[in-house]
């Protein structure tokens, strides 16, 4: 299996030239940081992740997590690697200095998450979920909860989870039945079962802080009756030490297609006296509070598609250079050529390379928009709208592409990709969950047309298309980019027409919008990525002309050109699917579908 090499030049390019890290850092919110410091820390983090985290990836897959009598054991290598991760302090860097954080922007955290996930997705899931729990407690917890739990969660000594799903209530969270009965002293007795809880039980940390959705007595049905509770695995003594164990048990862990090292748990709360928990935020605001965590998690899950596509691409590229097969066009007759010299293998590699560049731009732009809400409060509402629009695009597009691009990497390996020896199949298996959890990609599409598209009557989307069209005009200054520019104008125009159709037809009949929601998400996301890749072409061309790391920047220009000419045209092709309406989807009854 090829070693993982953090793509630091690619990361630096996107941070500096596409999302303008210096501008993100210019506000008072991040006054303690500068780009030189951020890049120095990222370089050191990349070295650590490549040397410590990446080597345990194979063990996570082959050994996996195990369950016995309620206890969960992770692979031996995970325990050592995670302990070193805690000691490194990288996880605390983007959080509030008041609780031991480094005060760095969330964009920094996203880069760390990318490298961690590329190195070992199964292990990276533990700090990823913890960071989401930190975010929820930071926004909605009491002063006492923040001071009691955040310091050790920031270091990673304690981990965090989110507990939504129940056996009878999957994506329909409003159907959950877990109960929270007031004790009388401000605490609640929590009872019920939760499933699919990532790192719900494990041996990496001293304590686990569960954020649990449950219903208080007399609460209304549906999501309005749901509250959030903080339910620790171990109680905290007055001196900060760990006390007795709470009434929480791990009934089992799931046997899964991938991410074998990450325990996916069935948790039972309150089998004996009732698990004790404390309300987070106001009663009845559980779903709103959880969405703070969910939005954080959705961006991080989208990032998983990028991260595993990057790791699989690195292996595919190395294999394509080493594998000799056939005689390429132009090679000496009878000579065995590396498969990278064959046109279709080049197509597979360029498709991966170009989409990875686009995904990194999209994910980092989404994170930077969240940071700008804090660093540029004068325009905070506009930055928040942009971030909100990008969340379902980042989550859905990038996880769909994670499936597609890891499959292409496997294809480059040919028959060797289908066996476990090369290790590339692990990435294909590991990423498959990402399109499902934190809201399936169909739910992301419904969120896009139901909540994000209606923002300001569709003008948030239309303004983003205005920006894309301006970038298309800027591209005409580069001789080699005329076709890219024309394709980008076509994509923006088609997306604008589809947007107007959804706004006009979706309000009267939601099924009209929902029927076209998934193709619309792919269409809009591809078009916005086209605009971001136009930025890549412009920045790369400028740097190459100035002889700044010339070969690297020329490669970026070619990657952008490939995107604009061979990937971007698919965006306009979605228009008819978006505007077809719901009639055909519901035309066949169940018997006819059989």
- Alpha-carbon distance of 40 to 17, in angstroms, equals 17
Report residue 365 CA to chain centroid gap.
13
Alpha carbon 271 to its chain's center: 34
Residue of 59, 201, 385, 438 marked active site: 438
Are residues 180 and 215 in contact, defined by beta-carbon separation less than 8 angstroms?
yes
Closest CA relative to residue 103, chosen from 94, 116, 113, 91 = 94
Residue position matching structure tokens 């302990």: 83
Half-sphere exposure of 451 (CA within 13 A, CB side): 13
- Number of Cβ within 10 Å of residue 468's Cβ equals 23
Token duo for residue 548: 């700044």
How many residues in total does the chain contain?
Answer: 594
Radius of gyration of the chain (CA): 24
Using CA atoms in the order 294, 295, 300, 303, what is the torsion angle rounded to 10 degrees?
A: 130
Per the DSSP assignment, residues forming a β-bridge with 578 are none
- The Cα–Cα gap between 195 and 200 comes to 9
Question: How far from 354 is each of 306, 310, 350, 472, CA to CA, in Å?
Answer: 12, 11, 6, 18
How buried is residue 89: exposed, middle or buried, by Cβ count under 10 Å (0-12/13-18/19+)? middle
Cβ(60)–Cβ(75) below 8 Å: yes
Distance, CA of 424 to chain centre? 20
State the burial class of residue 385 (Cβ atoms within 10 Å of its Cβ: 0-12, 13-18, 19+).
Answer: buried
3-state secondary structure of 226: strand
CA distance 70 to 253: 9
**Long-range CB pairs of 143-148, under 8 A, 24+ apart, other chains included:** 145/230, 145/278, 145/280, 146/99, 147/99, 148/236, 148/240
Rounded distance, CA 106 to CA 94, Å?
6
Does residue 438 have an active-site annotation?
Answer: yes
**What distance in Å separates the CA atoms of residue 366 and residue 20, rounded to the nearest whole number?**
12
Q: From 62, 132, 120, 52, select the one nearest 86 (Cα to Cα).
A: 52
Positions marked active-site: 438
């Amino acid at each position: 299996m090829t070693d993982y090499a953090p793509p630091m030049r690619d990361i630096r390019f996107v941070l500096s030239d596409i999302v303008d890290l210096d501008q993100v850092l210019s506000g008072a919110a991040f006054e303690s940081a500068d780009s030189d410091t951020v890049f120095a820390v990222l370089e050191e983090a990349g070295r650590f992740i490549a040397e410590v985290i990446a080597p345990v990836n194979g063990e996570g897959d082959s050994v996996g997590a195990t369950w016995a009598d309620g206890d969960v054991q992770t692979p031996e290598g995970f325990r050592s690697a995670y302990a070193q991760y805690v000691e490194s302090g990288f996880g605390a860097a983007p959080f509030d200095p008041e609780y031991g954080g480094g005060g760095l922007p969330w964009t920094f955290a996203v880069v760390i998450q990318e490298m961690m996930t590329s190195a070992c997705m199964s292990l990276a899931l533990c700090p990823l979920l913890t960071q989401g729990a930190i975010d929820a407690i930071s926004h909605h917890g009491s002063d006492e909860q923040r001071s009691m739990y955040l310091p050790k969660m920031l270091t990673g000594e304690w981990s965090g989870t989110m507990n939504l799903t129940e056996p009878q209530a999957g994506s329909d969270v409003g159907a959950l039945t877990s109960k929270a009965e007031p004790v009388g002293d401000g605490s609640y007795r929590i009872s019920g079962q939760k499933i699919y809880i990532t790192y719900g039980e494990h041996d990496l940390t001293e304590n686990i802080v569960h954020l649990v959705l449950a219903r208080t007595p007399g609460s209304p049905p549906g999501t309005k009756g749901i509250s959030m509770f903080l339910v620790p695995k171990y109680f905290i003594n007055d001196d900060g030490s760990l006390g007795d164990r709470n009434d929480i048990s791990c009934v089992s862990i799931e046997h899964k297609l991938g991410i074998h090292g990450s325990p996916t748990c069935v948790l039972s709360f309150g089998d004996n006296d009732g698990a004790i928990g404390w309300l987070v935020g106001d009663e009845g605001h559980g779903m709103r509070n959880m969405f703070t965590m969910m939005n954080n998690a959705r961006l991080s899950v989208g990032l998983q598609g990028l991260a595993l596509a990057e790791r699989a691409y690195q292996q595919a590229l190395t294999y394509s250079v080493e594998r000799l097969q056939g005689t390429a066009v132009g090679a000496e007759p009878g000579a065995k050529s590396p498969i990278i010299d064959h046109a279709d293998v080049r197509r597979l590699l360029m498709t991966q390379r170009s989409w990875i560049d686009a995904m990194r731009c999209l994910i980092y732009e989404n994170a930077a928009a969240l940071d700008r809400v804090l660093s540029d409060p004068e325009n905070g509402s506009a930055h928040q709208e942009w971030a909100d629009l990008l969340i379902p695009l980042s989550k859905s597009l990038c996880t769909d592409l994670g499936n597609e691009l890891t499959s292409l990497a496997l294809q480059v390996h040919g028959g060797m990709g289908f066996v476990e020896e090369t290790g590339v199949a692990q990435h294909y298996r590991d990423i498959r969950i990402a399109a499902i959890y934190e809201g399936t990609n169909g739910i992301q599409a419904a969120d896009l047309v139901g909540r994000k598209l209606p923002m300001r009557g569709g003008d948030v989307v239309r303004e983003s298309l205005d920006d894309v069209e301006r970038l298309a005009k800027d591209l005409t200054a580069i001789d080699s980019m005329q076709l890219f520019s024309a394709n980008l104008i076509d994509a923006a125009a088609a997306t604008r027409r589809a947007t107007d159709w959804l706004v006009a037809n979706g309000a009267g009949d939601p099924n009209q919008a929902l029927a076209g929601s998934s193709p619309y998400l792919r269409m809009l996301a591809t078009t916005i990525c086209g605009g971001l890749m136009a930025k890549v072409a412009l920045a790369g061309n400028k740097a190459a002309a100035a002889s700044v790391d010339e070969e690297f920047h020329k490669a970026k220009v070619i990657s952008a050109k490939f995107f604009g000419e061979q990937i971007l045209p698919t965006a306009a092709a979605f228009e008819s699917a978006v505007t077809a309406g719901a009639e055909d989807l519901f035309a066949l009854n169940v018997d006819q579908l059989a």
